[in-house]
Structure 1
């Protein structure tokens, strides 16, 4: 494959047309058109649908642009670092993180990352939805137990589990339904918990429905009832006596994953942020997140 032709194809695709690409690169439009046609002939694929005024990527063209564009960018960055003799990480890094983790930790992580790598422009978005990394231009996403995705690779960097807590002690475990603070549309009338190696059922009466886990924790602190919450969110309250740990929720273990596009050349900025996550949570335990917030 002609790498120069591939680079010209990426240039045209990135700018959305021959004219814009020619003006941006200050190169003849005819040359770019010929290079793209040569690449299509070599691959025996149509990469663009050609209209009267513009070009539109075919399905095959979009797939090639997503892969080749990322690879060529990494090659350019690597060459620039080698040429400058510098190991400094630079450029823009866009991260999407779930709302709770973003509220709890991303502010401090972002500040530390910025201190270590002042030439990186870091942008963090808090969002619980499954963003499309390629289409929306993210370099790294953090997700809880993500579904398998062939286009992404990654690693878990933090584990957590649900515990049942309340502002009062265990007598509420006996007798009638317990006042419960639940999230959104949770309609459970009974919770299962494990305490002192015994598993039991607990009848609950949802008296409050809140959309945020932080709101739920605050309501439980204020005595509104019991709740199932991540250990990382309430371990400091348990240790400080503000909340009582009634037991664990069986089978509630989750993992936070850092995901990035599957490619041979890992973005240096992504690699640097992954290093920060490993250093911040070396054991990947929920207590580490709580301790990190207290540090």
Structure 2
């Protein structure tokens, strides 16, 4: 049965005529008449007795109106309740976020979001790979400098930059002599190109430790074992306190954290609330804001 035709039938039955129903709904009278006729043809029943000036329900039409009118009203109320989620988001929200951001900020962000929106069941998983949002059932994905994907839309909500830091006890780099370095994972080159107050410099390095997370790298550098290339938001408190010294800003593209989602049309209330939550946490999206949010 065509639900749209059934809805039009109930509209006409409720208002007692095609003309009144058309004026109430802002729909063409001819369209309503055609849809009702199509429904009568599909059911092989006459639903209205049409007089010169009157329109009355047949016995079958009255029974159909009584039994389906309430059901359609419930459907409308259900759709309105779901749509009204913009004022009161609810339901399950799955988010994928990169390892470092999850370690330093996501726990606090998730807790604040849960307090603000108690009817949303937030699930956050940590993954640095490019997950398939649709196949794996994610509503929002947070990624660092993601590649262009025509199936997704998104926006930058945070920016960061890389700096080379070391313990003051390590001393400043001298000439072309490699400095001891803590690096993340295999590879990573043999020198950092940095911006310094009087221009640019090249700092050769030799890995003495290879660790799998930026947090581990930072802790090792704090311990004085070597220098490292790290996001400034992760070490700005250490630099301000004198625990680490900054040798320079690393040349290259900035670090941009993006929120990605399948479509900006008909965005669910849950996703909109989460995006707004990130915007409120980082209104300017600067490294200083992230450092302040992380704390010490």
Query: TM-score when scaled to structure 1?
Result: 0.71
The answer as to 2:115 corresponding to 1:115 is yes
Cα distance in structure 2, aligned partners of 1:150 and 1:195: 38
1:36-61 CA distances to partner (integer Å, 9 max, x unpaired)? xxxxxxxxxxxxxxxxxxxxxxxxxx
Partner of 1:173, secondary structure, is coil
Change (3 A) 1:77 1:120: farther
Moved more, 173-182 or 153-162: 173-182
Cα distance in structure 1, aligned partners of 2:179 and 2:232: 20
Cα distance in structure 2, aligned partners of 1:267 and 1:86: 8
Q: State how 1:178-257 maps to structure 2 within 5 Å.
A: 178-257=179-258
Report if the CA contact (8 A) 2:169-2:224 is conserved.
Answer: no
Q: State how 1:149-160 maps to structure 2 within 5 Å.
A: 149-160=149-160
Partner of 1:89, secondary structure, is coil
The answer as to 2:102 corresponding to 1:102 is yes
Per the TM alignment, residue 80 of structure 1 is displaced from its structure 2 partner at its CA by 1.7
1:1-28 CA distances to partner (integer Å, 9 max, x unpaired)? x888xxxxxxxxxxxxxxxxxxxxxxxx
Report if the CA contact (8 A) 1:178-1:203 is conserved.
Answer: yes
Change (3 A) 1:185 1:85: closer
Report if the CA contact (8 A) 1:97-1:126 is conserved.
Answer: yes
Partner of 1:129, secondary structure, is coil
The size of the alignment, in residue pairs, is 223
Cα distance in structure 1, aligned partners of 2:79 and 2:261: 18
Per the TM alignment, residue 185 of structure 1 is displaced from its structure 2 partner at its CA by 1.3
Per the TM alignment, residue 294 of structure 1 is displaced from its structure 2 partner at its CA by 2.2
Change (3 A) 1:242 1:147: same
Per the TM alignment, residue 169 of structure 1 is displaced from its structure 2 partner at its CA by 6.3
Partner of 2:247, secondary structure, is strand
Report if the CA contact (8 A) 2:86-2:269 is conserved.
Answer: no
Report if the CA contact (8 A) 1:154-1:258 is conserved.
Answer: yes
Per the TM alignment, residue 87 of structure 1 is displaced from its structure 2 partner at its CA by 2.0
1:124-165 CA distances to partner (integer Å, 9 max, x unpaired)? 001101100000000000000111111110000000110000
Cα distance in structure 2, aligned partners of 1:172 and 1:86: 55
Identify unmatched segments of 5+ residues in structure 1.
5-74
Cα distance in structure 2, aligned partners of 1:3 and 1:288: 52
Per the TM alignment, residue 76 of structure 1 is displaced from its structure 2 partner at its CA by 9.6
Change (3 A) 1:250 1:207: same
Cα distance in structure 1, aligned partners of 2:199 and 2:168: 20
Partner of 1:172, secondary structure, is coil
Change (3 A) 1:177 1:269: same
Partner of 2:121, secondary structure, is strand
Change (3 A) 1:168 1:139: same
Per the TM alignment, residue 222 of structure 1 is displaced from its structure 2 partner at its CA by 0.3
In structure 1, what is the equivalent of residue 54 of structure 2? none
Per the TM alignment, residue 123 of structure 1 is displaced from its structure 2 partner at its CA by 0.2
Partner of 1:271, secondary structure, is helix
Higher Cα Rg, which structure: 2
Identify unmatched segments of 5+ residues in structure 2.
5-75
In structure 1, what is the equivalent of residue 262 of structure 2? 261
Cα distance in structure 1, aligned partners of 2:214 and 2:184: 7
Cα distance in structure 1, aligned partners of 2:142 and 2:209: 29
In structure 2, what is the equivalent of residue 55 of structure 1? none
Partner of 2:172, secondary structure, is helix
Query: TM-score when scaled to structure 2?
Result: 0.71
